[in-house]
Structure 1
């Protein structure tokens, strides 16, 4: 069962490598939490390998810049691997499923004018009606009315247009609060009969890429720290690595202040196989 801890140092001897979620753990889109920054520094000082693993549809360099701007110096950790980066590399190399199964004509869904996830790729950006596949990397706040997509996506599903979802998160933090994220739109497309391949957490592709980036360590010496049972914890458990849930993140309304954290977690997780090894209120050394 899940053990509640007050500080990460309590379990620091259990792991050599850290996969660290970004939103809800390091920050909420603005400044890095002071205690989280100090915790990362302490991990770095003790020789732990630290890789930020993010369900961001943007590429790794964009996330590195964003995290630095928020207040976490790149020198304190070993790199960033985003789902957008894994998608970009997969579309560049075309060596494995699902990237070998899509064509060149791409309908791109992303935030604002950002095209980083397709820059330099042999793709032709087209309207949905002419697309071989959909690349879902981000959603503008104004595009989060999922039902408004029904007509266009139903037509694409009827044409068997596959979707690559480079951000499987179901919700995202915005100035207006929590809104549906790209993963919610991808699930909606599946409900319409569309075929979706997910690139980020909790799916196999990104965890394989992360372990490769860490130099193929023993999974039982790797700790995934995240705030989502559905993404960080499930993905970590499926990859055979250790897991720590930050309870003040996406599940905070259900967990913060609970007098029975194990019971509350089990109700959220649905089964013991989806439970984290440990839980902590916030990332504190």
Structure 2
């Protein structure tokens, strides 16, 4: 199946340097965390840290896999941690697939993970929707394969936004749920922006990422398009993934009795994995060889952003 996530938009082709600048541009919308280290401790892999922590929380894209491909050594490293009776979780901003489908995907890749050891931003959104009260019709931005009809909302209050949607249809919606950028384009973004300009309404963003590494490309994700729409229209945004607190609170809830500082958050982005982990009180490790910062001057990125991980490694 051909991946339909956008790799360009309005003449922009995302690069790691471009993505870093975009994250810096939205810092006021991100959590804050105090800097705990002047510079990261450099290690060759996760192996030297196994005895230092009781639990390990992994980002997925750029740490365990890039698109459908498993990063070399990731399977073995997670299996080694589990063999040492270390608690292992995956905390992913993935929202295109349903939570059960995402857990099944990692099982097919060979990881010993299930729905209890994977926390997806889609799952976080669904937990919220189960208890939230909504009126009117909400538009869901996602391809059909995402099964938006499975969201825990009354069937008559959910409409999937299709490629041929007209602005008057968007105008009738009370809010929007951004699950996936797959199939999203300039025309649809323009229609959404025009509708929100006429009447600003909330957007619930299941995937706060601006970009995601898929092989040797970066794709543009729901976070990017949602921030773009909010900046242009004043629409309010509600996020359900990293770096926001709900994601890390869910991870901590699955690791009862373990102090946050004894949990290592392992990720490939300063502004989501590392910042969010630090705000939650976790220790952090930045992976630099496969993800959103690949090829960047990492020390310069740390200096400019003020986000400094406790550890840094090319690969786990």
The interval holding the TM-score normalised by the smaller chain is 0.7 to 0.9
Separation (CA, whole Å) in 2 of partners of 1:224 and 1:46: 18
Separation (CA, whole Å) in 1 of partners of 2:195 and 2:237: 15
1:136 to 160, 178, 197: 178
Aligned residues: 265
Instruction: Indicate conservation of the 8 Å contact 2:129/2:152, yes or no.
Output: no
Shift of residue 50, structure 1, vs aligned partner:
0.7
What's the counterpart of residue 270 of structure 1? 305
Separation (CA, whole Å) in 1 of partners of 2:185 and 2:215: 14
1:33 to 66, 71, 84: 71
Separation (CA, whole Å) in 1 of partners of 2:214 and 2:281: 32
CA 1:221–1:105 in structure 2 vs 1: closer, same or farther (change >3 Å)? Answer: same
CA 1:37–1:104 in structure 2 vs 1: closer, same or farther (change >3 Å)? Answer: farther
Shift of residue 159, structure 1, vs aligned partner:
1.5
Is residue 244 of structure 2 the alignment partner of residue 203 of structure 1? yes
- SS of residue paired to 1:63: helix
Length-normalised TM-score, structure 1: 0.85
Separation (CA, whole Å) in 2 of partners of 1:63 and 1:184: 22
What's the counterpart of residue 140 of structure 2? 108
Q: Deviations over 1:206-237 (max 9, x none)?
A: 11111112225311111110101111001001
What's the counterpart of residue 124 of structure 2? 86
What's the counterpart of residue 152 of structure 1? 192
Instruction: Indicate conservation of the 8 Å contact 1:84/1:117, yes or no.
Output: no
What's the counterpart of residue 71 of structure 1? 110
Length-normalised TM-score, structure 2: 0.77
CA 1:225–1:117 in structure 2 vs 1: closer, same or farther (change >3 Å)? Answer: farther
CA 1:71–1:116 in structure 2 vs 1: closer, same or farther (change >3 Å)? Answer: farther
Separation (CA, whole Å) in 2 of partners of 1:175 and 1:13: 32
Is residue 251 of structure 2 the alignment partner of residue 213 of structure 1? no
Question: Gapped runs of 5+ residues in structure 1?
Answer: 95-99, 256-260
Which 4+ runs in 1 deviate beyond 4 A? none
The within-5 A match list for 1:9-20 is 9-20=47-58
Aligned Cα root-mean-square deviation (Å): 2.2
CA 1:120–1:17 in structure 2 vs 1: closer, same or farther (change >3 Å)? Answer: same
Separation (CA, whole Å) in 1 of partners of 2:194 and 2:284: 38
Shift of residue 139, structure 1, vs aligned partner:
1.0
Question: Gapped runs of 5+ residues in structure 2?
Answer: 1-38, 160-168
Is residue 243 of structure 2 the alignment partner of residue 243 of structure 1? no
Q: Deviations over 1:252-283 (max 9, x none)?
A: 1204xxxxx5x33424x511xx1111011011
Separation (CA, whole Å) in 2 of partners of 1:160 and 1:37: 45
Separation (CA, whole Å) in 2 of partners of 1:89 and 1:183: 19
Q: Deviations over 1:30-72 (max 9, x none)?
A: 1322301100011101111111100011332121111122232
Separation (CA, whole Å) in 2 of partners of 1:38 and 1:117: 37
- SS of residue paired to 1:253: coil
1:125 to 148, 158, 163: 158
The within-5 A match list for 1:164-175 is 164-174=204-214
Separation (CA, whole Å) in 2 of partners of 1:74 and 1:176: 26
Q: Deviations over 1:8-36 (max 9, x none)?
A: 12122221111111111111111322301
